[in-house]
Amino acid sequence: MIIVNGNGTTNAIEVSNLWKIFATHAGQIDLSDEEQLRTLDDSDEDTVAVRDTSFSVPKGEVFVVMGLSGSGKSTLIRCLLRLIEPTAGSIRINDWDVCNLDTAQLTEFRRKEAAMVFQHYGLLPHRTVLDNVAFGLKLQSMKKSQREEQARHWIDRVGLSDFEKYYPAQLSGGMQQRVGIARALVCDPPVLLMDEPFSGLDPLIRREMQDELVSLQEGVQKTIFFVTHDLDEGMRLGDRMAVMRTGNFVQVGTPDEILADPADDYVARFVEDKRKQLEKANKRKTTGAEAK
């Protein structure tokens, strides 16, 4: 099945009416019963983490999801790979009906179709940089010489060609994240899922990693689903952005659209500081031009 959006562009990701409820009997909840849902919202034990969310991401787009802690963005990205099982709804990634895959099909999907880059790297501590990057290819039963050749290519692309024999504990946080990105890209997945991958890095390294991702994307043109709580990062990386609150999107648009025309008070507060920065910068430019 080829998924096409209203502009005639092929979609890589198509999510419809997705729910994730953390509750003892989540599968028995009537999602059309508003009173029952309000009871869940008021509960200290149960959580509606993703709430009737629908969206699509065209192939080759960098789609950024932003939100404060607890907004549901990390649960959402994990549902896309079924690292967390959705309560209801559908997920299609290219030709894969993700929610209806059996165990073997799901394993195949994760190996070939979509790769995840985590905030805390997820590297294997007892394996070298080369072995970490090549690990996914080993799972695909690729010959050692071939997988190491491909791994070296991506190690070089992320600027770590002199560190192939190092172990994760010998690397800085930024270097470990580069290994994680190389490991994700070496299997050539069409879709890359990134869950706050740079949030644990100091500002200078974080900027370098953003630069690296922009440079890589110019060459590989992956579909990237990127989760962050940082507005500057989202605006810099995203072709489109979604602002998430209490499990659903409250606004979707280009970074400029969201900054210029917030959909509600929540989004307005989210972008307030950035708007003030831009207003100050424009005033300085105007004052400087008048002085000349």
Judged by DSSP in three states, 49 sits in strand
Determine the pLDDT at residue 1. Answer: 37
20 alpha-carbon distance from chain centroid: 17
Composition of the chain by helix, strand, coil, percent to 5 = 45, 25, 30
d(CA 189, CA 186): 8
The stretches of 129-264 forming alpha helices (DSSP H) are 129-139, 144-157, 173-185, 203-220, 231-237, 255-260
CA distances from 253 to 129, 157, 266 (A): 38, 31, 15
Give this prediction's pTM: 0.85
Q: Is-contact 106 82, C-beta < 8 A? A: yes
Give per-residue pLDDT as tens, 128-183.
Answer: 999 999 998 888 888 999 999 999 999 998 889 899 999 999 998 888 888 988 88
Does 109 have pLDDT greater than 90?
Answer: yes
Banded pLDDT at 276 (limits 50, 70, 90): confident
d(CA 202, CA 148): 31
Give per-residue pLDDT as tens, 195-249.
Answer: 988 887 788 888 888 888 888 888 888 999 999 988 999 999 999 999 999 999 9
Core vs surface per residue 17-28: b (16+ CB within 10 A) or e: ebbbbeeeebee
Banded pLDDT at 43 (limits 50, 70, 90): confident
